[in-house]
Amino acid sequence: MSIQKGNISIHTENIFPIIKKWLYSDKDIFIRELISNGCDAISKYKRLITLGEINEEEATKYKIIVAVNKDKGTLSFTDNGIGMTEEEVQKYINQVAFSGAEDFFNKYKDKMEENNDIIGHFGLGFYSAFMVSKKVQIDTLSYLENSTPIKWESEGGIEYEISKSEEIKHRGTKITLFIDDDSKEFLNEYEVRKVIDKYCSFLPVEIYIEDESKKEDETENKEVTPLNDINPLWTKSPKDCTDEEYKDFYRKVFNSFDEPLFWIHLNVDYPFNLKGILYFPKLKNEFELVEGKVKLYNNQVFVADNIKEVIPEFLLLLKGVIDCPDLPLNVSRSFLQNDRDVSKISKHIVKKVADKLKSLFKNEREEYNKFWDDIQVFIKYGCLKDEGFYDKIKDFILFKNISGEHITLKDYLDKCKEKHENKVFYISDEKQQSQYIKLFKEYDLDAVVLNSTIDNHFMSFIEFKENGVKFNRIDSDISDVLKEKEETEENKENKSKILDLFNEVIGEKIKNYSVESLKNEETPAIILVSEESRRMAEMQTRFSGLDLGMNFEEEKTLVINENNPIIKKLVSIKEDENKKEDIKLICNHVLDLALLANKELSTDELDLFIKRSNELMSRAILL
Ligand SMILES: Nc1ncnc2c1ncn2[C@@H]1O[C@H](COP(=O)(O)OP(=O)(O)OP(=O)(O)O)[C@@H](O)[C@H]1O
């Protein structure tokens, strides 16, 4: 055949330098594009065999070979797929591939200054080869009988030359890139491997890498294994996968040493195609949350991590892989945002997650209880982000109670209905509130542990969603709950004596006083803080510097235990003039001990407390 020359039909002469500059940050995608093209060519060939159009050659091993050659400055991609005839090169390379580049340019030329995260999702296909090459050469031989091997060459992507190829002897295509001086990293086998690992780890055709500049003896005894896994676990049917396989896959894909708690294998054929595995990792602390990663694939080709248009934001705390062949993933993100199928997929994923939680709750409750501490932050976050998710899983939300059991809100409310209807008592700090927990146990009351940062929001959210339900911290006003018996006249009189005494000695330092007969005689008094005032005060601290219009202080009640021997004694010596000083010291000390058990004392309060303790000791010994 004679040599043909031509001009690629590109109207915008300077399109290439612009695209090249613009694509700079994502330029490694050309490797993904060229390998995917090879993979497509092999799939097309296989399809023709299935259709009976061609007879399968014996023992064909379909593969793509990526070869770096530092000496020649080339990087090549060879496949044994369908190949191209001269007409096809004219049509697909000169017209299709280049019109793709032109479309790209036209579509985004107005957005040149915007961020460039759409670039990786726009399939520039074959044209992307020019991002790193000064010259690109195609050698191809079509599967059709008596085809002529074709060589296509272009420097700079504007002009091309077609001639007969001397290089290619077998069916398939070899794309050779003569790497530009500013892209020399792609002549490094290790660098190329890294990019293949990133994008092509699960491509359905085996990929091999060779370094042609290495001497024969350097490569001789090396075991040749493909770089990718052509049958990743998500492509298998869930019933054929073992737990060990799921865990291995997790460790391999996410380079994690930890074990996932459980996983969901997504396998949808209708109304859209979706396959994938979502793992629930152990999330011991809230700061780890940012590490989640959901990798999105399009027919086993990696597209991007964490595309929030497809995967609801809160699920990005999980780790996983999603393969959506139906998604137009090579278009811009703004397109994805407005695509109805995309939002359907996202809803479907949320539903599957909810179904899995339900099934664990119903069928593996013991295990579910164990997982709860690890997944609770994720679930609560999900509920806050997506009310629909909350509605689906609200009956499977667990609360750990003071006996260490995991119960649902309904369990709790049913159990406590008689004593405090619709009121949920909670513990925000088990150590600090231990005195109150003890008290609750003595009274056979229950409280739940809600001690992570997200719990404050979560409680308000449940109060908003579940009409009438109120959360009260365990040290909030519990006097009603503690009241056990009817008051007698004698009782009342005694109470008012105690109240008078404390009012007189301590006065307005404490807003409210109350006297109760607590079961445990040892404790002289406890402090209770009104739930509302505490929430307001906390909000004020959180938004410190913000003027909320008034100054919120915690509203405290000192609950004095009339059963305590010290309190009893105080009442009996109340009128004794000689004991006035002792009474004052002890009343103040009772208050400080109660405050101390509730929260740390302020510096001034602590100062006074220490002074008084010393005085009390010296009085006990010296008087
Ligand atoms: N290795 C190959 N073997 C056979 N045909 C190829 C090969 N590479 C490219 N082609 C042909 O050239 C066409 C254009 O390729 P290009 O990568 O630009 O676009 P595409 O693959 O169709 O779409 P995309 O933009 O998603 O990559 C392909 O559709 C295919 O017909």
pLDDT digits (tens, 9 = 90+) for 599-623: 878 888 888 999 888 888 888 876 5
CB 175 within 8 A of CB 32: no
Q: With a cut of 70, say whether residue 425 has pLDDT above it.
A: yes
**Which residues have CB under 8 Å from 61's CB, separation 6+?**
206
Q: What is the spatial distance between Cα 113 and Cα 115, in angstroms, rounded to a whole number?
A: 7
How much distance in Å is there from the Cα of 307 to the middle of ligand 1?
25
pLDDT of residue 621: 78
CA atoms within 13 A on the CB side of 114: 10
ipTM of the complex: 0.97
Lowest mean pLDDT among 153-157, 208-212, 488-492, 528-532: 488-492
| CATH 3.40.50.11260 domain locations along the chain | 397-467
Using 50, 70 and 90 to split pLDDT, how confident is the model at 259? Answer: confident
Q: What is the pLDDT of residues 56-78, one digit of tens each?
A: 776 789 999 999 999 999 999 99
Q: Which atom of ligand 1 is nearest to the CA of 101?
A: 18
| CATH 3.30.565.10 domain locations along the chain | 4-219
Residue nearest to atom 29 of ligand 1 (CA): 92
Domain 4-219 has CATH 3.10.20.30: no
Residue nearest to atom 19 of ligand 1 (CA): 125
* Terminal CA-CA length for the chain: 122
Architecture, CATH, for domain 480-622: Up-down Bundle (1.20)
Residue with tokens 């000083």: 581
How much distance in Å is there from the Cα of 84 to the middle of ligand 1?
10
Joined together, the tokens standing for residue 407 give 């119960």
CB 571 within 8 A of CB 565: no
Sign of the alpha-carbon torsion through 267, 272, 276, 279: negative
How much distance in Å is there from the Cα of 517 to the middle of ligand 1?
84
How much distance in Å is there from the Cα of 547 to the middle of ligand 1?
62
Q: Of 66, 82, 92, which is best to mutate to test ligand 1, by the most ligand atoms within 8 angstroms of its C-beta?
A: 92
Q: Which atom of ligand 1 is nearest to the CA of 81?
A: 3
Q: With a cut of 70, say whether residue 454 has pLDDT above it.
A: yes
Using 50, 70 and 90 to split pLDDT, how confident is the model at 575? Answer: confident
- Reference 185, options 42, 59, 31; nearest CA is 31
Using 50, 70 and 90 to split pLDDT, how confident is the model at 92? Answer: confident
Residue nearest to atom 10 of ligand 1 (CA): 37
| Average pLDDT of the residues in 90-95 | 83
| CATH 1.20.120.790 domain locations along the chain | 480-622
* Cis check: omega of the bond before 271, within 30 degrees of 0: yes
Three-state DSSP class for 477? coil
Q: Which atom of ligand 1 is nearest to the CA of 44?
A: 4
Q: What is the spatial distance between Cα 365 and Cα 357, in angstroms, rounded to a whole number?
A: 10
How much distance in Å is there from the Cα of 89 to the middle of ligand 1?
10
pLDDT of residue 309: 74
Cβ neighbourhood burial of 134 (10 Å; 0-12, 13-18, 19+): middle
Domain 397-467 has CATH 3.40.50.11260: yes
What are the phi and psi torsion angles at 424 (to 5°)?
A: -110, 120
Residues at the binding site are 33, 37, 79, 84, 99-100, 173, 333
Q: Provide the phi-psi class of 73: left if phi over 0, else alpha when psi is between -120 and 50, else beta.
A: left
Distance of CA 513 to the CA centre of its chain: 48
Q: Provide the phi-psi class of 468: left if phi over 0, else alpha when psi is between -120 and 50, else beta.
A: left
pLDDT of residue 547: 60
Q: Which atom of ligand 1 is nearest to the CA of 172?
A: 3
Three-state DSSP class for 259? coil
Residue type (1 letter), 9:
S
Q: Provide the phi-psi class of 184: left if phi over 0, else alpha when psi is between -120 and 50, else beta.
A: alpha
How much distance in Å is there from the Cα of 126 to the middle of ligand 1?
6
Joined together, the tokens standing for residue 491 give 């009782």
Q: Which residues line ligand 1 (CB under 6 A)?
A: 33, 37-38, 41, 79, 81-82, 84, 92-93, 96-97, 100, 123, 125-127, 173, 330
Q: What is the spatial distance between Cα 513 and Cα 527, in angstroms, rounded to a whole number?
A: 9
User: Looking at the DSSP assignment, which residues form a beta bridge with residue 448?
Assistant: 401, 426
Using 50, 70 and 90 to split pLDDT, how confident is the model at 35? Answer: very high
pLDDT of residue 602: 83
Residue nearest to atom 9 of ligand 1 (CA): 37
Which of the two residues, 159 and 402, has the higher pLDDT score? 402
What percent of the chain stands above pLDDT 70? 84
pLDDT of residue 268: 86
Q: Of 40, 43, 138, which is best to mutate to test ligand 1, by the most ligand atoms within 8 angstroms of its C-beta?
A: 40
How much distance in Å is there from the Cα of 14 to the middle of ligand 1?
23
CB 100 within 8 A of CB 125: yes
How much distance in Å is there from the Cα of 36 to the middle of ligand 1?
8
Q: What is the spatial distance between Cα 263 and Cα 245, in angstroms, rounded to a whole number?
A: 12
Q: What is the spatial distance between Cα 383 and Cα 196, in angstroms, rounded to a whole number?
A: 38
pLDDT of residue 185: 95
pLDDT of residue 263: 94
How would DSSP label each residue in 106-119? Answer: HHHGGGTTS--TTG
Q: Which atom of ligand 1 is nearest to the CA of 93?
A: 12
Residue nearest to atom 1 of ligand 1 (CA): 38
How much distance in Å is there from the Cα of 125 to the middle of ligand 1?
6
pLDDT of residue 335: 60
Q: What is the spatial distance between Cα 202 and Cα 240, in angstroms, rounded to a whole number?
A: 18
Q: With a cut of 70, say whether residue 120 has pLDDT above it.
A: no
Torsion, Cα of 42, 46, 48, 53 (10° steps): 120
The CATH class of 233-368 is alpha beta
Rounded to two decimals, the pTM is 0.76
Residue nearest to atom 28 of ligand 1 (CA): 92
Residue nearest to atom 12 of ligand 1 (CA): 92
Q: What is the pLDDT of residues 543-557, one digit of tens each?
A: 766 665 666 778 889
Residue nearest to atom 27 of ligand 1 (CA): 125
| Average pLDDT of the residues in 339-344 | 73
C-alpha angle 619-599-443 in degrees, rounded to nearest 5: 95
Average pLDDT over the chain reads: 84
Residues at the binding site for ATP are 33, 37, 79, 84, 99-100, 173, 333
